[in-house]
Amino acid sequence: MNRAITIGLLGLMLFLGIQQGQQDATVEEMVDYLSFTGTITEVREDEILVQEKTNEDNFIVFKTVENVLLLDDGTKDPIETDSLDVGREVTAYYPEDRPMALSFPAIMTPDVLVLHSCEDVGFVHVATFDDTLTSSDGLLKITLGSGMTLVDRQGQPVTSLSNQTLVVFYSTSTRSIPAQAKPEKIIVL
């Protein structure tokens, strides 16, 4: 009797494991992004020390190596590292599963670093967007329209936005979940 129960449970576990493997194969990976906003307190070679805006005891060292996309939120265009000065406010965007050195302050390389050069210029959202152009975190849905700039990291025009990681600049959105916005500029990472 015990042998039959054991064999039955093993068979059930095997069956459920196979089913889970089939589901995992059909679901595309959607990466959620986290952000960290703060003030630059020190500029070093290929990195900046940022003090969090809401918690003055929290610091992170962000690498500013060449694969990090540095943007100005006022112009929505790429900038050079020499634009990063002490006292300037920045927001870093990085995948939630990005490795971070366990030191104090923590050290990491973000995907996108946005320099806040103007007040109240709108919003920036970094996420992976599905085929309905809804973000992986479910907070933003893009509505396409005329007058938008759609480019890749190098500034070349793009036509496909589905299932890609995007940097979305927009100024207004609906008060729904997900919020719907007609972006001014979209950069494909």
DSSP code string of 2-19: HHHHHHHHHHHHHHHHHH
5-9, 52-56, 126-130, 183-187: the lowest-pLDDT one: 5-9
Q: Is-contact 68 113, C-beta < 8 A?
A: yes
Mean of per-residue pLDDT scores for the chain: 84
Residues of the chain with CATH 2.40.50.140: 33-116
pLDDT score for 18: 54
- Once rounded to an integer, what is the mean pLDDT over residues 122-150? 91
- Once rounded to an integer, what is the mean pLDDT over residues 60-65? 91
Count of C-beta atoms within a 10 Å radius of residue 15: 10
Nearest-angstrom CA–CA distance, 79 and 75: 10
14-18, 120-124, 166-170: the lowest-pLDDT one: 14-18
Q: Tokens for 49, please give them.
A: 């020390």
The residues, ordered by sequence, that sit 6+ positions from 173 with a Cβ below 8 Å of its Cβ are 123, 140, 179, 180, 181
pLDDT at 2 over 80: no
CATH number of the domain at 33-116, please?
2.40.50.140
pLDDT score for 14: 60
pLDDT score for 23: 44
| Sign of the four-CA dihedral 34, 39, 43, 49 | negative
